[in-house]
Structure 1
Amino acid sequence: VVNSVALGINIDNPGDINDFYRIGKKLGEGNFGSVAKAAVKATGAVRAIKTIPIPPTKDERRLDFLRHEIKISKMVDHPSIIKLFEVFENNKKLHLVLELCRNGDLWEYMKSSSAGSSGLSEFDSAVVMQQLLRGVHYMHRSFICHRDLKAQNMLLTFKSKPPTTSTKSQPKTSLGKVAALLATATSTADNKESPFENSIRITDFGLSCNFNHG
């Protein structure tokens, strides 16, 4: 473990990331960095590597975002939250080694043809919300506030190919029925497993913070 001069936080691995990972296809790119698929050289385990150029020291706002993202990501360990394995710093770039989520984010899925014109079924919606609320409950019990929860920050990792839903319109559901669905959602409905079971991963902790009890 070494200390990052730019960020003032501990970096897990002082070595060169290319000595430990085979970095492959780029999966996406945004304003603040890119994400590529990678494999651990020693084991073949598949990962996602988020590469972020380290901002100049005068850009304190972006530096704070990075500090918070790394600090909070290291603190959390929950099935509904993306896992950060380790962090590298090479050539003025940070490399975050993350759990690979193969199916994009919930927002893109909802806009795609896979979701159909009616969106998710009531049961699948309940399964998604149950995972989200479990993750939020865990964070709040750990005195962490995410502060940027939205569909774009919920990644999907389906066990098999992404599910499709009917394009027929679905009847509206009362608030009471929604509450009942959330309370009783399990991995089976009408003897069928929901494809969304264990599929949600909360990500992006740049705006997160710790808070005091009470």
Structure 2
Amino acid sequence: MTICANCGSENPAGASFCGACGKPMESPAPPPAGDLDAMQTVSPYETHGRDRADDTQGRRAKAQIELEEGTVFAGRYTIGTLLGRGGMGTVYRAIDRHGERDVALKLIRADRLEGEGAVQRLINEGVTTQQLSHDNIVKVYNVDEADGIPFVAMEFVEGTTLAEWHRKKMAAREQVPARVAARIVMAMLDGLEAAHANGVIHRDLKPQNVILTSEPDQANASLKILDFGIARAATIEESLSGTALGTEAYMAPEQRTDPDLVDESADLYALSKVFYKLLMDALPEGMWQPPSASRSDVSKYLDDLIYAGISTGRSGRPASVDEYRRWLLAAMNGQRFERDRTDSPVRDGPVSLMHERETRQQAGLPKPALYGLLGCGGLIALFVLVSIIAGLSNPELIEDEGTASGPEYSLLSGTWNSDLSGESMYFVVPPDGDLNQTETVDGVPVTMTGRFEGLFANYTYSSAPLTFTGTLAWDGVDCHLQNQVTMGGQTVTDIYHIDHAPGHVPGADVCPDRFD
């Protein structure tokens, strides 16, 4: 048993929060070596990332920032205990003489900021983030530079990070209940909504940047999001290139290719990865498994939301925090959600489901040579292999929300043109998403049976001597389908372009008018 230092109640050994008063039980331990997901903030404000002897330009990295307890920094902050130290700098608990309040003072190493004007960019961003005032956002009091050291003074919050809380769950082999994960996501959405309304994008949302102030449950998740605006000026990991901003595992694709295109949907992309991590104890990389495939408390409609949320193309993601919230409520109520396509983001820039050689390599997609495995009638064999298992049993309502209907499947009727092979076949998809159809390809009868459920469609393919199963995946908006099938232990992935020539980037204003 462990005694709570705040109220004196007994708690099970290893408990993160007191069951009686909800306060944190202890300072969380550092992550195990090699835990890449815990690279940044491990406990509140603690930057535990690896350091380097040289920065990306080959210059010798500066020494860590060290201040003795009692030192007055910037003429107003009296340094207290050390909260954390890492690659980005050092964080102290301090007393702000202006208001006599406790703050978390993050001293940032100037050599970890990206390019000329980065310090001023950090300060300018800080001016905006100081306007944010919300229960789910750590308040920023001051962003400035003193003695050549950029710093951020922010609200000091007692708690533990979502990353550390989840790590302890995994260590204890405890699943995070779907309704608890959904409640955490709802609270994060509330914070993001307030930020986005003020024109602030986080750009580095991850479990390490979320502080839980009490034990979350299906009715309440008391949390605060940390470090708004920091990523805009911070140096990226050396494994990335260009001027991308954020942490690679949770970073939207456009942050790698053109950070100027980053908008609110990048935060929703990262949030969807956080959501998946809470449910599946892993990140959705490569051939990821829909949560409903292994969890009875997860609806297939929640699969649809996560799939859309991590769409490579911005047009495939929820258009706003509000749409994400409404979709989540519908999914947790066991209902399909009908997207309002008129509110979808504009189709510009790098917004494909999977496109260009570099993106294919990043996603682990196979080379076209695998088409040799498929033989006659091979076009239809290229479908997404994702197991979708019926989901939520007796779902408990998170909120009372109206019903929602499914996507307009008839939009998919037309000629499907393969991106990799250049072959084509005409399909008729009725409004109910039924895919039963028989065609003749090169004189061989080809039969596909299946049906859309949400944004996925399980199917069975039969063309003597081949018979196998697979799945189609659609973002519900665009005129492109992501497809994959596994045969003989090898996987082939493709994109179908509906009613236009292959090779065009999905989302680049090439879709037929009916998709507008």
TM-score, normalised to structure 2's length?
Answer: 0.28
1:138 deviates by: 2.0
Q: RCO greater where, 1 or 2, for CA within 8 Å and sep 6 or more?
A: 1
The aligned runs of 1:55-70 (5 Å cut-off) are 55=111, 59-60=115-116, 62-63=118-119, 66-67=122-123, 69-70=125-126
CA deviations on 1:107-162 (whole Å, 9 max, x unpaired) are 1221125984224334432331111011122223333332322212212333xxxx
Counterparts of 1:36 and 1:186 in 2: how far apart (Å)? 33
1:201 has 2:257 as partner? no
136 and 69 in structure 1: CA distance in 2 versus 1, 3 angstrom threshold:
same
1:109 has 2:165 as partner? yes
Alpha-carbon RMSD across the aligned residues, in angstroms, is 3.7
138 and 68 in structure 1: CA distance in 2 versus 1, 3 angstrom threshold:
same
Counterparts of 1:136 and 1:64 in 2: how far apart (Å)? 24
2:200–2:228 Cα contact (<8 Å) kept: no
63 and 141 in structure 1: CA distance in 2 versus 1, 3 angstrom threshold:
same
User: What is the number of equivalent residue pairs in this alignment?
Assistant: 167
Counterparts of 2:113 and 2:209 in 1: how far apart (Å)? 27
29 and 121 in structure 1: CA distance in 2 versus 1, 3 angstrom threshold:
same
The DSSP-based 3-state class of the residue aligned with 1:77 is: coil
2:103 match: 47
CA deviations on 1:89-122 (whole Å, 9 max, x unpaired) are 2211122110113334211221125984224334
Counterparts of 2:187 and 2:171 in 1: how far apart (Å)? 19
1:82–1:201 Cα contact (<8 Å) kept: yes
The aligned runs of 1:111-130 (5 Å cut-off) are 111-112=167-168, 116-130=172-186
Counterparts of 1:37 and 1:114 in 2: how far apart (Å)? 30
1:17 to 57, 68, 73: 73
The DSSP-based 3-state class of the residue aligned with 1:48 is: strand
2:242 match: none
What are structure 1's unaligned runs of at least 5 residues?
A: 1-15, 166-184, 188-195
1:37 to 93, 96, 102: 93
Larger radius of gyration: 2
The DSSP-based 3-state class of the residue aligned with 2:159 is: coil
2:201–2:228 Cα contact (<8 Å) kept: no
2:187 to 124, 131, 136: 131
Counterparts of 1:91 and 1:52 in 2: how far apart (Å)? 12
125 and 34 in structure 1: CA distance in 2 versus 1, 3 angstrom threshold:
same
What are structure 2's unaligned runs of at least 5 residues?
A: 1-71, 233-259, 265-344, 347-516
The aligned runs of 1:38-187 (5 Å cut-off) are 38-41=94-97, 44-55=100-111, 59-60=115-116, 62-63=118-119, 66-67=122-123, 69-112=125-168, 116-158=172-214, 163=215, 186-187=219-220
46 and 37 in structure 1: CA distance in 2 versus 1, 3 angstrom threshold:
same
Counterparts of 1:58 and 1:206 in 2: how far apart (Å)? 11
1:80–1:202 Cα contact (<8 Å) kept: no
- Which moved further from structure 2: 100-109 or 203-212? 203-212
CA deviations on 1:150-179 (whole Å, 9 max, x unpaired) are 212212333xxxx499xxxxxxxxxxxxxx
2:119–2:150 Cα contact (<8 Å) kept: no
2:30 match: none
TM-score, normalised to structure 1's length?
Answer: 0.61
135 and 40 in structure 1: CA distance in 2 versus 1, 3 angstrom threshold:
same
1:19 deviates by: 4.1
1:106–1:155 Cα contact (<8 Å) kept: yes
1:87–1:95 Cα contact (<8 Å) kept: yes
CA deviations on 1:65-85 (whole Å, 9 max, x unpaired) are 634652442232222111111
112 and 204 in structure 1: CA distance in 2 versus 1, 3 angstrom threshold:
farther
1:182 match: none
2:123–2:144 Cα contact (<8 Å) kept: no
The DSSP-based 3-state class of the residue aligned with 1:75 is: coil
The DSSP-based 3-state class of the residue aligned with 2:126 is: helix
The DSSP-based 3-state class of the residue aligned with 1:39 is: strand
